[in-house]
Amino acid sequence: MVPTTFPDEALIRFGARHAVKYAGIKEDICLDDFEADPAYRRHVLDTLGVPEQQQAGALVVVRTPPSEALYHQHGNDLFPALLQKLNDTAGITVIVLPRYESQVAPLRQAYPRLILPQEPLDGLKLVHSADLVISAGGSMNREAAALGTPVCTIFAGPLPAVDRHLVEAGKLRVIDSLQAIEALAVSARKPASNGIERNQVPMQQLLALIDEVGVDA
């Protein structure tokens, strides 16, 4: 079972002989029961020691490249330039979420104004609370798009079909050049919200398809 945007030729290449397709994206289904917490943003910023006067500025959440993943067999020359831009931008709070322990010390040394949490955070609540999410991977970008948070991808490889669909739908922006980094503008803080504009069609359709094909849910 895959989204309608997943190309048939890719399914064949991956060995699938038959596929049932549903509207939307996988994250619409994974986050179907997500409950927003308008107090989480303040809680996180207080916990991380962000001064109250700085909390009035925008909150940016950044995810590092999946440099050890099999699908990421290439470097990402733009990512350091992005971090430098964010490090030099006044009036914002930037939380960087490293993927590997080996990324932590170099990031702290090179970009002292960026925050690297020492304790785990609730990723989905953090993404929903942010004013902007930027990831060099994929999952967090799609989660942000599903939760209605402005999001940019700085993934260095070819964009997957689902990401291309989100770009065409205006739910995902691409950072693919130094010019795009220089032009990056962080919007003002968005108001706290108790909910999201949930796309309920994917879950409803998927449950119908499961019932139709006789899969034990």
Segment (H or E) for 97: strand 92-97
pLDDT at 180 exceeding the cut of 60: yes
Residue 217's pLDDT is: 46
Query: Is residue 29 one of the residues assigned to a domain?
Result: no
Together in a domain, 83 and 132: yes
Residue 122's pLDDT is: 96
Task: State what percent of residues in the chain have pLDDT above 90.
Answer: 54
Give the mean pLDDT of the chain: 85
Kindly compute the dihedral angle of the four CA atoms of residues 31, 5, 22, 130, in this order, to the nearest 10 degrees. 10
The sign of the CA dihedral 187, 147, 180, 99 is positive
Together in a domain, 66 and 15: no
Together in a domain, 184 and 101: yes
Residue 67's pLDDT is: 60
Cβ contacts of 164 within 8 Å, gap of 6 or more = 5
pLDDT at 201 exceeding the cut of 80: no
pLDDT at 181 exceeding the cut of 90: yes
Together in a domain, 187 and 203: no
Query: Is residue 129 one of the residues assigned to a domain?
Result: yes
Together in a domain, 89 and 178: yes
Residue 68's pLDDT is: 54
What is the CATH classification number for the domain harbouring 140?
3.40.50.2000
Query: Is residue 113 one of the residues assigned to a domain?
Result: yes
pLDDT at 86 exceeding the cut of 70: yes
Of the candidates 204, 196, 191, 150, which has an alpha carbon nearest to the alpha carbon of residue 173?
Answer: 150
pLDDT at 183 exceeding the cut of 60: yes
Contact present, 167 and 158 (Cβ < 8 Å): no
Together in a domain, 64 and 141: yes
Query: Is residue 169 one of the residues assigned to a domain?
Result: yes
CA distance to 25, 31, 140, per residue, from 200 (Å): 11, 10, 19
Together in a domain, 208 and 176: no
As given in the structure block, the two tokens for residue 120 are 């785990």
Which of 16 and 97 is assigned the larger pLDDT?
Answer: 97
Cα–Cα distance, 9 to 209 (Å, whole number): 22
Q: What's the domain range around 76?
A: 36-192
pLDDT at 70 exceeding the cut of 70: no
Segment 8-22 shows an average pLDDT of 84
Together in a domain, 78 and 167: yes
Together in a domain, 110 and 167: yes
Cα–Cα distance, 98 to 91 (Å, whole number): 22
Between 22-36, 112-126, 150-164, the lowest mean confidence (pLDDT) is in: 22-36
Together in a domain, 155 and 176: yes
Between 16-20, 30-34, 89-93, the lowest mean confidence (pLDDT) is in: 16-20
Together in a domain, 172 and 124: yes
Tell me how many domains the chain contains: 2
Cα atoms in the Cβ-side hemisphere of radius 13 Å centred on 170 = 0
Query: Is residue 30 one of the residues assigned to a domain?
Result: no
Paired strand residues for 157: none
pTM (2 decimals)?
0.85
